[in-house]
Amino acid sequence: MPFYHALGQIPPKRHTQFPRPADTADKTSQGSDGPFYYEQLFGTIGFDGMSSLLYHVHRPTMVREVLDSVDMTPTLAVQKNMMARKLIGFNVPPADDFIESRVPLLVNNDLIFGLAAPRQSLTEYFYKNADSDELLFVHRGSGRLRTLFGTIPFQYGDYLIIPRGVIYQIEFDTADNKLLYVESHTPIYTPKRYRNHFGQMLEHAPFCERDIIRPNVLETHDETGDFLMKIKKQGSLHSLVYASHPFDVVGWDGYNYPYGFSIFNFEPITGRVHQPPPVHQTFQTDSFVVCSFVPRLYDYHPQAIPAPYNHSNIDSDEVIYYVDGDFMSRNDIKQGHITLHPGGIPHGPAPGAMERSIGKKETQEYAVMVDTFRPLMLTEQAMAIDDGTYYKSWID
């Protein structure tokens, strides 16, 4: 995040002695730990990116065992795609385990885009993605994202941004959960053009710092034992056993931490004539953007056409995940559907949608769009839920 946050106890100056309270220091003098808390720099882009400083009860390095590794590389079915697709997202099968429930659908060298329908909370082990920042969009379900930075409550409509390396668990209140996820190999930020030189959100931005859900309640577990952690690294899921509880942070501060943002807090930008997709932008990376389509008033020029014009996204593939409402530019689109419009060929409103939109005053649609700068490949799981006919949907 581009702004500072602190939680728990931290010493007045970084990289200085931070004594543990006398009672715990006495206890640890009999064990292997010293009388001080253990500082950890948690940074990105080497030492040049955003970072936080965390203070642990135990050393965060105490690996007891390195166990098995499982290859998580998606199985590709179509590597060179030149076909508009519609995937029926709610046909992705549910699974108990949070990680096993992830179904990769669209991938390239920059990201993995998929859906997940986890039935159970992740509490049996701890998880860390060391390859990617993660974006989770909650379509159904509510609960709590528990991390070593603190807990973030979530509900329908929330984005959760989890920087690479954040150790977390997730608790669901319900069994019918539906998530969109993106694993981004480059950091996920809020758009730079929304922020001033100092990082503050500008007045024209469609959201501001107050809309960001920062970690609150910090869990500090002073426990030793065997703690299983599954770490995704180089496309494999490695199982390691740590000798101390991963959530043993007494305090932290900095700029690099997980956070939430509700799509319901995205304030749409409208105009007299049709506004281009960048007005919907919510997040950016070096290799793709994420946009939020939300209910809004339509264009108010007396002769405006609210439906989008045909457009050639030559330099990007466009993925739209339909969340709720009546998506005005398409016919036969339902919740959970995903459309993929590959770069290189134009796409636009479905037949009749342009004419139908004229005179309409507002839309109630919710959708999440991911535009990638490099072409996407389809996995075997994507082909299993591909409707197979969407590419012909512009013919009357």
Nearer Cβ to Fe ion (29/310): 310
In the complex, minimum distance from the CB of residue 304 to Fe ion, in angstroms, rounded to a whole number: 18
As to burial, measured by CB atoms within 10 angstroms (0-12 exposed, 13-18 middle, 19+ buried), residue 107 is buried
Nearer Cβ to Fe ion (72/307): 307
In the complex, minimum distance from the CB of residue 133 to Fe ion, in angstroms, rounded to a whole number: 25
Q: Distance (Å, rounded) from C-alpha 242 to C-alpha 240?
A: 6
Is-contact 319 339, C-beta < 8 A?
yes
Which residue matches tokens 């859906």? Answer: 115
Is-contact 143 171, C-beta < 8 A?
yes
Query: What does the binding site for Fe ion look like in residue numbers (CB under 5 A)?
Result: 318
Nearer Cβ to Fe ion (131/318): 318
Nearer Cβ to Fe ion (213/369): 369
Longest dimension (CA), the chain: 80
Which residue matches tokens 């994420």? Answer: 290
As to burial, measured by CB atoms within 10 angstroms (0-12 exposed, 13-18 middle, 19+ buried), residue 309 is exposed
CA distances from 257 to 50, 251, 275 (A): 9, 13, 32
Distance of CA 362 to the CA centre of its chain: 28
In the complex, minimum distance from the CB of residue 385 to Fe ion, in angstroms, rounded to a whole number: 21
Nearer Cβ to Fe ion (55/390): 390
As to burial, measured by CB atoms within 10 angstroms (0-12 exposed, 13-18 middle, 19+ buried), residue 192 is exposed
In the complex, minimum distance from the CB of residue 215 to Fe ion, in angstroms, rounded to a whole number: 35
Nearer Cβ to Fe ion (248/318): 318
In the complex, minimum distance from the CB of residue 211 to Fe ion, in angstroms, rounded to a whole number: 26
In the complex, minimum distance from the CB of residue 42 to Fe ion, in angstroms, rounded to a whole number: 37
Question: Nearest residue to Fe ion, using CB?
Answer: 318
Nearer Cβ to Fe ion (44/339): 339
In the complex, minimum distance from the CB of residue 387 to Fe ion, in angstroms, rounded to a whole number: 18
Distance of CA 290 to the CA centre of its chain: 10
Instruction: Residue count of the chain, please give it.
Output: 396
Q: Which two tokens stand for residue 360?
A: 């309409």
* Residue 339, strand partner residues: 86, 320
Nearer Cβ to Fe ion (100/315): 315
Q: Distance (Å, rounded) from C-alpha 267 to C-alpha 249?
A: 35
In the complex, minimum distance from the CB of residue 329 to Fe ion, in angstroms, rounded to a whole number: 8
